[in-house]
Amino acid sequence: MNPYIEILRPGNALMGAISIILIAIIDKTISIPIVLAMIAVFFETAAGNVINDYFDYNIDLVNKPERPIPSGRISLKNGRNYAYLLFLAGTICGFLISYLTGNWIPFAIVLIADVVLYLYAYKLKATPLIGNLAVGFMTGFGFVFGGFTINNPDIVMTSIFLGFFAFVMTTAREIIKDIEDVEGDKKDGARTLPILIGKKTPAILATVLIIIDCALCPLLYIYHIFGVLYLVVIAIAVIIFLYSAILIMKSQEESVAHKSSKLLKIGMLIAFLSFALGSFF
């Protein structure tokens, strides 16, 4: 694969656009601003991946030497400039959305994303809990970005609720991933929450966040945002979420944390499916 495509982690970047696609499905609409929003999220996610590899150069020389920058297929300078170009492309898309809709909030959201993604790679990733919150924030922000791109008041409120859901669950998963990666992170000199205070308290915190999200799920049906099919499908996701929480509370071993994290990812994909189905039935 071409190193300039590989470093984008295109599958990961495409996954980032799911939030926009879901909001478009919920509103049952497609438009040039929506398409631009998908492209903007792709560019911003890709830019975050590239700038992350730039700042992780020394770590990746040891842990992931096959990646484009440490392997020498992309120079450090070119990697940095490539990230800047991607950030610029995402920002231009945000500007065009706001210009076409007359609503400058999407442009502001892209500018905030630029700052958060850069700071995450530069400093926040190594900051206990703040790094986890930053990842959760950016995941939830995608839904809000989609809502304000459409700029329908009802859709904006729905996007904020879905964004909060994604923020809380993603933060929980990031904390569990830190529990899973304790040994490797210690070797890298990282200062994650499990390294600083042990694994049990972060496991409790992740469980509390999971329970909060599960408790909020029925509200989207109660307030007639989604139909009855949402309730059926989200129930499956909730069962998976709670089982994941039970696993991590019972044991904080690496293999258990890996399984719990994987289950949360599966549960979130099912939850996203429930959002789409619930908007029709």
Its pTM surpasses 0.95: no
Q: How far apart are CA 64 and CA 47, in angstroms?
A: 19
Q: What pLDDT does residue 41 have?
A: 95
> Nearest-CA neighbor of 210 among 262, 267, 279?
267
Residue 257's contacts (CB-CB under 8 Å, 6 or more residues apart) are 176, 177, 179, 180, 248
Predicted pLDDT of residue 125: 80
pLDDT 10s per residue in the chain (281 long)? 798 989 998 887 888 888 999 999 999 889 999 999 999 999 999 999 999 899 988 777 776 788 899 888 999 999 999 999 999 999 999 999 999 999 999 999 999 999 999 999 998 887 888 989 998 999 999 999 999 999 889 899 999 999 999 999 999 999 999 898 887 777 666 788 888 898 999 999 999 999 999 999 999 899 888 989 999 999 999 999 999 999 999 999 989 999 999 999 999 999 999 998 998 87
Q: Which two tokens stand for residue 161?
A: 């609720």
What would the CATH number be for the domain defined by 152-281?
1.20.120
Q: Is 252 helix (H, G, I), strand (E, B) or coil?
A: coil
Exposed/middle/buried for 121, CB within 10 Å: 0-12, 13-18, 19+? Answer: buried
- Return the closest-CA partner of residue 140 out of 111, 115, 171: 171
The pair of three-digit structure tokens given for residue 158, joined into one six-digit string: 């729905």
CATH topology (fold) of 1-150: Tetracycline Repressor; domain 2 (1.10.357)
Residue 266 CB-density burial (10 A; 0-12 exposed, 13-18 middle, 19+ buried): middle
pLDDT of residue 188: 67
* Beta-carbon contacts of residue 18 (< 8 Å; ≥ 6 apart): 142, 272
The domain spans of the chain are 1-150, 152-281
CA distance 40 to 17: 9
